[in-house]
Each structure stands twice: as structure tokens, then as C-alpha cells.
Amino acid sequence: MTTMQTPPDSLIAVKQVHKSFPLPDGKGEFNVLRDINMTVRAGEVVALLGRSGSGKSTLLRIMAGLIPPSQGRVFSNGKPLYGANKNVAMVFQSFALLPWLTVQENVELGLEAQGMPRDERRHRALKAIDLVGLDGFESAYPKELSGGMKQRVGFARAFVLEPQVLLMDEPFSALDVLTSENLRGEIDDLWNAGTFPSKSILIVTHNIEEGVFLADRVIILGSNPGQVRGEVVIDLPRSHDRTSDRFKALVDYIYTIMTNPEVEVTASAPAIVSKTPTETPVPRSPYAKALPHARVGGISGLLELIIDQPDGKDDIPRLAERIQLEVDDLLPILDSVVLLGFAEVSQGDVQLTEIGQDFATTTILRSKDLFRQQALQNVPMLSSIVQTLQEKRSRSMRADFFLDLLDEYYPHEEAERQFATVVDWGRYAELFEYDASEDRLYLPELVAAAVTEEP
Ligand code: ADP
Ligand code: MG
């Protein structure tokens, strides 16, 4: 397969990569990535943007050669990659420092593994520590450092390797808002000053503003399975001015894409250079269609915030900023209100439907009725659970039964989250009860009685 061409300046090229993991039921496979094609060229900052679970970390690990693709190839400097990619270094969200080593020892670790002589190691480590603003802390231990300083060590440890491509996996998301803002700005300054210790940066993020701020190009990953939906060129002079109209338009546009899985990333929209068709496979069973993870409390809270806006309509980026909610937390709630027919999303705006307005303003009893009606209509998993319970003489069923069904379609952790979400919705709608001590679902007496009366 060496016939596959890579552009001459490509540092990393991903060609037709698929990745799947075996499912807990032992029979099927969970497709995490489908037909991924992308390139990182010399001299650019690329952001890989996608929601939680879209396979960003998996793709990054494949590019780093930490795990192999199930199908397809990765090329590093035009050559097929086997094993660990020596041309990259990684910065992790979790810092991943060794607590029993000092700052300097942590930074030197990778060089030691390369067999570099002690003096040179020391020299390069001190330079990297200096670059991230940690001079004076060389002999400190990680536990003495704040989160922001720990991540500075994380950067120094990657910088010292002078990789061609620096891979960053949500490097700012474990930090508080101010610290992450500060560190993000410094990384951007280093890059813009031309003193950055790598030729290119690939940053994985779920934060739209972060992608637009740092990157020259934002590649957008869709979910289930992870696939490239297209890319948006950030046609702004560096450093990207957040207050400019163009910045806001780009953020708005990416919100529009991220809130509409069906929207095609087309050339008529701002500055698109490529697109890939998306086809949503028809779900095989009511349990195969994943629910967005949002609690009823979050759903009604969001609707109440939107209804206070003129015409029950809100701009999504502004809404996110107003309520200080991360995109990753906001989007599942938006998905839920759309799925339930309480709102519609288009052009970066969210607009309540009549039912949504009714739900947000009516009494608690009637809002439960509305929720039940909408959930039964739009959430096959819920109606299927109710039907199963109705078919049982005991009107109850072990939770395990439903978890096993979910295990056929999701990794176990995700199956448990799906179950927790559907139970939250079903309980609120009073469609069924969940007894945690017995780990059973059962029909509430009223529903059960209504069913029994039927012929
Ligand atoms: P992201 O970084 O975009 O949040 P990940 O790449 O971490 O997404 O995960 C994508 C999906 O792949 C998730 O549903 C996750 O549960 C699944 N996954 C990741 N690694 C494994 C693994 N080793 N085994 C099984 N499933 C995995
Ligand atoms: Mg991740």
C-alpha cells in the first residue's frame, strides 16, 4: 500500500483509518473511528474538534503510534508508521507527571530514555524549563506545584524532545478558567514569536473558542462513529483577535455545525476547504440509538433560561458564555431538548417550540405530562423499556437485563451512562421506577393498574 501519496510537507498523514474495539458482549465491535483522512503539514497549528466520545484521543494515540489502527495507515514524514512515533511528543490533560521525581527529572526522563549524555540532558531540560517560565522550580516535586505549574512541566517535558509535531490532548481542560486562559495565551505567544520548539501543533479540543483561537485550521469530528465532517480555515491574522467580527462568525459557524449532525459542511459557508458526506446509519434496535447525556434538571433549566430571552430564542455561543457552561456540557442538553421536540436549532440559534414554551412555563404536573408525551414519542429506548415491563406479569425487570441489551451496542462504561440517562428521564416522566437496592425497574402502581385493566 505504499502507492498512497502524502504531500511533500506532510509530517503526519492519516489515510483511511478505522478503529474499533470489541464490545463487552464478546460478539460485536464498537466502531470508534470511520475512514479518517487528515494531514498535519509543517508550520501549521491544527485543531481537532469534536464532542466527548467522538474518538479524538483515540485518533491522537493512533498518530502517536501508541495503538494501531484497525484498518488504514499512518504516515510519519511520508513513511508508514510502525510502533511508537518518534517524531511527536504528547501533552496530556492529566499532566501525567511522576510524583517521586523533581521537575527537572520529570523533564529529563524522555531524553534519558533516548540515551542522551547527562550534561546535554541537563542543558536541554533547563532550557525547556526556562521556556515554560518555571526557572527556580527545577528541584520542586509535583505535589508542591499548582495545576497550572504542573501542566507547564507537562509542556517542558514535551518541548525538550524537540518533536516535529507537538500533540496536545485537551491540555487546558483540567485547569481553572484563568489559569487555562493564561497558559493558552503563552503557548500562542511562543508560536507566534517563531520560537516554538516544534514545527507543527495538533491540539485536540472540545472547546470551539479554543480551536478558533489557537489553530490555523479546525478539523471537525462527528460522533458515532468518529468521522471527519470537514474543516474550517481560520482566515485571521495571528494572534487571532477574539473581539473581531470574523472570529465571532467563525465560532458561530462551528457551533452551527456541531449542533446539527446533518448539516453539511459546505463551501457556501465561511471558508470551507473540504467536506465529507455524512450518512447516519439506521439504528438496528431502540437501544442502538444513543441518548444525549443530560439530566431532566439540566433540560428544564436550559429551557427556562431560553424562554426569558426575546421570542424564546437565544444565540448559542452567547448562551454558553452567559451560563459559563462548557460546550461539552451544553451540547448534550441542547441535543436533548431538540430530540424531545422542545426546541429547534439552526444557524447557531436555539428557538423554543410551542411545546417547549409550554413545558417551560406550565405547572410541574403538566410539565411531567408533556415530558412523558414527548419522551414516548421521540425516545424509542424509553418506550421499549415500558413495553418490556408491561409484558412481565410482575411488572418489573432486573436492571441487568437492560444493561445487557445496551452492552451489545456500547462499551460498558457508556452502556451504564446510557442506562443512567434513560432511568433519569423515565423516572421523571413517571413511566417507571428504579429501586437501587434491588437494582430493578418496575412500573409505578398507576401505570401498572392501567395496563392490567386493559383486555
Ligand atoms: P474523546 O477523546 O473524543 O472523548 P475517546 O477517543 O476517548 O473520545 O473515546 C471514543 C470512544 O471509544 C468512547 O466511547 C470510548 O469509550 C471508546 N474507547 C476508547 N478507548 C477504548 C478501549 N481501549 N476499549 C474500548 N473502548 C474504547
Ligand atoms: Mg479525549
**Per-residue pLDDT, 261:** 77
User: Domain coordinates of the chain in residue numbers?
Assistant: 10-259, 296-452
Task: Categorize the per-residue pLDDT at 269 as very low, low, confident or very high, splitting at 50, 70 and 90.
Answer: very low
Say which ligand is closest to the CA of 171: 2
Q: Tell whether the model's pLDDT for residue 455 goes beyond 50.
A: no
What count of other Cβ atoms lies within 10 Å of the Cβ of residue 268?
A: 6
Helices (H) and strands (E) in the chain, counts: 16, 17
- In angstroms, the CA 319 to CA 350 distance is 9
Separation of alpha carbons 184 and 287, rounded Å? 40
Check whether 66 has a pLDDT greater than 60. yes
Nearest CA owner, ligand 1 atom 23: 21
CATH topology of domain 10-259: Rossmann fold (3.40.50)
Mean pLDDT across the chain, nearest whole number?
90
Q: Is 30 exposed, middle or buried (0-12, 13-18, 19+ CB in 10 A)?
A: middle
Binned at pLDDT 50, 70 and 90, residue 447 comes out as low
pLDDT: which is higher, 285 or 281? 285
Q: Which ligand is the nearest neighbour of the Cα of 21?
A: 1
Q: What is the pLDDT of residue 453?
A: 52
pLDDT at position 26, please?
A: 80
Q: How far apart are CA 405 and CA 186, in angstroms?
A: 48
> What pLDDT does residue 452 have?
56
Q: Report which listed range, 63-77, 407-421, 427-441, is most confident.
A: 63-77
Per-residue model confidence (pLDDT) at position 264: 75
Judged against a pLDDT cut of 60, whether residue 62 lies above it is answered with: yes
**pLDDT digit string (tens) for 22-32?**
988 788 899 99
Give yes or no for residue 65 having a pLDDT over 90. Answer: yes
Q: Choose the residue to mutate in 18, 30, 32, 224 for probing ligand 1, maximizing ligand atoms within 8 Å of C-beta.
A: 32
Supply the pLDDT for residue 325: 81
Across 324-339, average pLDDT: 89
pLDDT band at 100 (very low <50, low <70, confident <90, very high): very high
Say what the pLDDT of residue 448 is.
Answer: 60
* Closest of 202, 123, 128 to residue 161, by C-alpha: 128
Average pLDDT over residues 275-295: 71
Is residue 401's pLDDT more than 90? yes
CB 163 near ligand 1, within 6 Å: no
Strand-pair partners of 71: 18
Give the pLDDT score at 298: 92
Report which ligand 1 atom has the smallest distance to the Cα of 170. Answer: 2
CB 6 within 8 A of CB 14: no
Dihedral (C-alpha) 237, 240, 244, 246: value to the nearest 10 degrees? Answer: 70
First and final CA of the chain: distance in angstroms? 65
Q: How far apart are CA 320 and CA 105, in angstroms?
A: 41
pLDDT grade for 272, boundaries at 50, 70 and 90:
very low
Give the model confidence (pLDDT) of 341-391 as tens digits.
Answer: 999 998 889 999 999 999 999 888 899 999 999 999 999 999 999 999 998
Confidence of residue 277 (pLDDT cuts 50, 70, 90): very low
pLDDT of residue 281: 52
**Residue 9: predicted pLDDT:** 82
pLDDT score recorded for residue 283: 55
Residue 87 forms beta bridges with which residues? none
**Using 50, 70 and 90 to split pLDDT, how confident is the model at 273?**
very low
The residue among 149, 124, 147 whose CA lies nearest residue 136 is 149
pLDDT per residue over 145-185, tens digit each?
999 999 999 999 999 999 999 999 999 999 988 899 999 99
Residue 1 has pLDDT above 70, yes or no: no
The CATH architecture one would assign to domain 296-452 is Orthogonal Bundle (1.10)
Query: At 379, phi and psi to the nearest 5?
Result: -120, 90
Q: Is the CB of 55 under 6 A from ligand 1?
A: yes
Mean pLDDT for 138-151 is 95
Candidate of 19, 21, 67, 170 to mutate for ligand 1, largest count of ligand atoms within 8 Å of Cβ: 21
The CB of 197 under 6 Å from ligand 1? The reply is: no
